[in-house]
Chain A
Amino acid sequence: MTAPTLAERFREDFPILDQTVHGKPLAYLDNAASTQHPVEVIEEISRYYRESHANVHRGLHALSSRATELYEHARQRVAAYLNSESSESIVFTRGTTEAINLVACAWGDRLKPDDGILLTEMEHHANLIPWQMAARRTGAKLHFLAVNGDEGQVDWTRLESVLEQQPIRILALTHISNSLGCINPVAEVCRIARKHGVTTLIDAAQSAGHMPLDVQAIGCDFLAFSGHKCCGPTGIGVLYGRKELLDQMPPYQTGGEMIVSVNFEGAEWKPAPHRFEAGTPHIAGAIGLGAALDYLDSVGRKEIQENDHYFGRQAAARLREIPELRLLGPAGERAGIVSFQLGKIHAHDVVAFADQQGIALRGGHHCNQPLIRKLGLIATARASFYFYNTETELDRLVRVLHSAIAYFG
């Protein structure tokens, strides 16, 4: 297994990484929470504000049409990134959370009492609570595919029988688990769901910046991701939806920008995607996201994926050598995410200890509280890698965990 060399080639594109924290070089291992920004993205956002900012779509002057062109170009960029047939399938949102809320409301309101919503037990709260609310509003019922043991695999062989026995209308699942690091077989799952006439939504928050994504190959009806987990800005995200589905859905929010005509009694909506973008959007965010996706394609998404899997495997193997450490997630292939309980040491203490050594980890339930509780844990510490992370940083992680055992043990 040869170590990938992406960090050697691309790390210097990320100015934030070149700093010390508490007197130690920063090792940023909290990429599943948010990734950092290459100069290209920072410059693109800055250039937009310096040269081209105005409100989009409604102005007739030069700056407004330039801003509109850049914003709509970003939409086309996202469509190409996802291999969406049309940019009209791309709705800009605030992030994954808003994208899923949009579907759970605008699509979810067609649910009837006892219709089934199928989720897995590893869903992030963002792909759980919107569906709990949809169920509460409509009387639909939540169903869950169980996650078993510390490896956290879903038994996908049960999917067919659940779909046969329950009146499931929608299946919403994560592509890559943010707490377990496992990669779900979304294309196969969507194929089975489609056979049963079940609508599908993929939470791609942890995958969009980490691997090639093709919505046509996956065969999903909806897919959501956030800009800030793929080198883009915060406050911008994407909902991909099949155009005919989006056009059947009522607006999620209403206001300016999303109407064809309005009188005092009512309004007529624009078609998708503008129907779902009420108000002035995050123009700079969309443009910055477009630049981020360009950047990721210049690095190579296949290479990023291989790099992720390399660090996932290496980190899992090195962490398993620590006798006190309980590692969550699959034994085999995994994303670059390792979540663990270190002896009896609380995750907050592990994270505070690592921080003193310049290593940024995350500790908590990772917005996965039901699953973490089911595994008999309160909180875990998590390290998550991206292509700019180095072997040296992995070595430092392993060393700091040994030191933490000595300190708190």
Chain B
Amino acid sequence: MDFDELYQEIILDHYKRPRNCGVLPPPATRGSGFNPACGDEVTVFVQQSPEGKIQSVSFQAQACAICTASTSLMTLQLKGITREEALALQRKFIDFLTKEGPGDGLGNLRALGGVRKFPQRLKCATLGWHALEAALNG
């Protein structure tokens, strides 16, 4: 059923027990995403090493299950990669949701694929990723 495809077990798990939840103090950079349609807000914190690799990442969200789970799953795939690799992952994820992209290398993030059938929830699934981009640019 479409609904259970949207709210897969792993999504409910990350919604109920979000990983890497919290604040990273400066010098970690932060970025926020805001959805004016529902008032949802996500802030992502990124700590990068001098070599330009992501050392740690966390987030805070007041958001729906899809948004919270997408952001939580995202944080698990960022450690040890560079800014450019993270942005490439973001593009691949958004293409997967919007352009039927293959989603190779997205791992558990593929669980968000149910969003394709609920285009009104696309913003929910990508809000944390826009916050990540802002944090990487901050």
Contacts and interface: CB of A to CB of B under 8 A. Distances in A.
A334 to B, nearest CB: 24
Contacts of B39: 364-365, 369, 372-373, 378-379
A366 to B, nearest CB: 11
B65 A346 contact: yes
Contacts of B62: 378
Contacts of A363: 38
Interface stretch (A100-108, A186-194, A347-355, A382-390): A347-355
A148 interface: no
Given A346-B65, A408-B12, A408-B65, A352 B38 contact: no
Given A346-B63, A352-B118, A408-B65, A365 B6 contact: no
Contacts of B81: none
A379 B63 CA distance: 9
Contacts of A407: 7, 12
B125 to A, nearest CB: 11
B40 A352 contact: no
Nearest to B6: A352
A356 interface: yes
Contacts of B3: 22, 352-353, 356
Contact of B121 (A22, A352, A379): A352
Nearest to A356: B3
A348 B124 contact: yes
Given A364-B38, A372-B39, A408 B121 contact: no
Interface in B30-50: 37-41
Interface string B1-44: 11100110000100110000000000000000000011111000
Given A346-B65, A348-B64, A352-B6, A365 B38 contact: yes
A348 B121 CA distance: 9
Interface residues of A, number: 19
Contacts of B7: 349, 352, 407
A220 to B, nearest CB: 32
A35 B63 CA distance: 29
Contacts of B64: 346-349
Contact of B15 (A353, A378, A408): A408
Contacts of B37: 364
Given A346-B64, A352-B3, A408-B15, A379 B38 contact: yes
A378 B65 contact: no
A356 B40 CA distance: 22
Which of B1, B15, B41, B64 is most buried by chain A, counting CB atoms within 10 A of its CB?
B64
Interface string B44-81: 00000000000000000011111000000000000000
A227 B3 CA distance: 34
Contacts of B66: 348-349
Given A352-B118, A356-B3, A408-B12, A347 B65 contact: no
A60 to B, nearest CB: 49
Contacts of A369: 39
Interface string A384-408: 0000000000000000000000011
A345 B40 CA distance: 13
Interface in A165-215: none
B75 to A, nearest CB: 19
A363 B41 CA distance: 16
A337 B1 CA distance: 31
A69 B6 CA distance: 53
B104 to A, nearest CB: 28
A378 B63 CA distance: 8
Contacts of A373: 39
A378 B12 contact: no
Contacts of A22: 2-3
A364 B64 CA distance: 11
16 contacts: A345-B65, A346-B65, A347-B38, A347-B64, A348-B66, A348-B121, A349-B7, A352-B7, A356-B1, A364-B37, A364-B39, A365-B39, A369-B39, A372-B39, A378-B39, A379-B40
Given A373-B39, A379-B40, A408-B12, 8 more contacts: A352-B121, A356-B1, A356-B3, A364-B38, A378-B38, A407-B12, A408-B15, A408-B65
The 3 tightest CB contacts between A and B, nearest first, are A346-B64, A348-B64, A356-B3
